[in-house]
Amino acid sequence: MAREDSMVNCDLAAARDMSVVNVGLLGFGVVGSSVAELLDENRENIERRAGSRVKIKRILVRDLERYRLKYPERRDLFTCDPEDIIGDPEITVIIELMGGLEPASNYITRALRKGKRVVTANKEVMSVDGERVFRAAEEGNTEVYFEGSVGGGIPIIKPLKQSLAANRITEIKGILNGTSNYILSNMSLEGLEFDECLRKAQSLGYAEADPTADISGLDSARKLAILASIGFGARFTPRDVFCEGIDGVAKEDIIYGKEFGWTLKLIGLARLDGDAVELRVHPTFLPDTAPLASISGVTNAVSVKGHAVGEVMFSGPGAGGMATASAVISDLIEVVRDQLAGINNLGCTCYRSLKVKPSEDICTEYYIRLEVHDKPGVMAQVAGVMGTNNISLRWVLQKRNIGENAEIVFVTHRAREGNLRTALSEIKKLPSLVRIGNVIRVENG
């Protein structure tokens, strides 16, 4: 059945001889309509697994008349008043798919305090307001599920909370944004500049008209904060994540990286170091042999290291209506089962107090591309600044001439971020420097 028609039969369950769980749907965009479609087309299997019929009783939309005109026989299904859903005692499960921080966070917490069970795919709410959401769930003696908030259709929240619960998680690393991964993949495959690949991604629907959250790394930072909070058992927000985007990447960087046997990805990395956690999102060169290096296009992937299991990886479509709907319906099935059994599943798992490692104390290798005046002794000047700041150079290569200037690539051994920043501030003062083309971190381990 077509997505837009699936609403017409969404209450057929009421006519069957089994208990019915009434659901309120907040938002009917790409994901919301996909949830309705998936529930309709796979209803028998979903309801058998849930142990109950499921009826979408009311849907919150912005353009009320649009949907009432489209479904005149179901005009009462749609509303623009959230209280028609949150305040309805017959609706016991709410699925929030509006996106954005507000008013979604307000609706979620209000519903939880009323004792309703909530399913959401809202990464902004869960990363920024997660503590408030879980507190509201405790107050209402209920639960919230959010598998769809990270990785689209990739199961990762539940594995971290349950399947890997016996492990001490030491590292979470992943490609968490399909838009950025598509752009970098195409820059590598086709030798195009960033702006060209961004326009292509937008034309194919892989990037929004305003792609800022994706290309700035903010979207990945939100997801990493959620994963780190669960994996390490401590509360983190996007503000804790050091974040750099991909908009400064040039095709030369990718070409030069290939010469070193590297692939460029926007990586989110959470790593436990004693009682501190390093949290960072930035373009990263990975060895071509690394599992994440082979993840291309809009695919997402998350690698998790645990002391008992070793390293495991989850990959698949990280966005899209049906992929995210798959995660949402999975949560819905579990919520309904819990409701019927009268139990609540795991709530907030943040019980530890961990520090965020200052970004200047993070150690990694660095790729540095400079444009300098093509004169004798310039390389030695730059290398001297690096040396006085305790930065050891692994490779120094002159790549090409740009008029009377030369392009030089430096690759360091592992160095402290703070030392590198000091060195770069000193290099900027060298009269031989034209510009710093780019600085990209390298994860060779």
For this structure, is 223 an active site residue?
yes
- Residues counted in the chain: 445
Active-site residue, selected from the candidate residues 223, 265, 305, 357: 223
**SS3 of the chain:** CCHHHHHHHCCHHHHCCCCEEEEEEECCCHHHHHHHHHHHHCHHHHHHHHCCEEEEEEEECCCHHHHHHHCHHHHHHEECCCHHHHCCCCEEEEEECCCCCCCHHHHHHHHHHCCCEEEECCHHHHHHCHHHHHHHHHHCCCCEECHHHCCCCCCCHHHHHHHCCCCCEEEEEEECCHHHHHHHHHHHHHCCCHHHHHHHHHHCCCCCCCCHHHHCCHHHHHHHHHHHHHHHCCCCCHHHCEECCCCCCCHHHHHHHHHCCEEEEEEEEEEEECCEEEEEEEEEEEECCCHHHHCCCCEEEEEEEECCCEEEEEEEECCCHHHHHHHHHHHHHHHHHHHHHCCCCCCCCCCCCCEECCHHHCEEEEEEEEEEECCCCHHHHHHHHHHHCCCCEEEEEEEEEECCEEEEEEEECCEEHHHHHHHHHHHCCCCCEEEEEEEEEECCC
Residues contacting 72, CB < 8 A, separation 6+: none
Q: Which residues are tagged catalytic?
A: 223
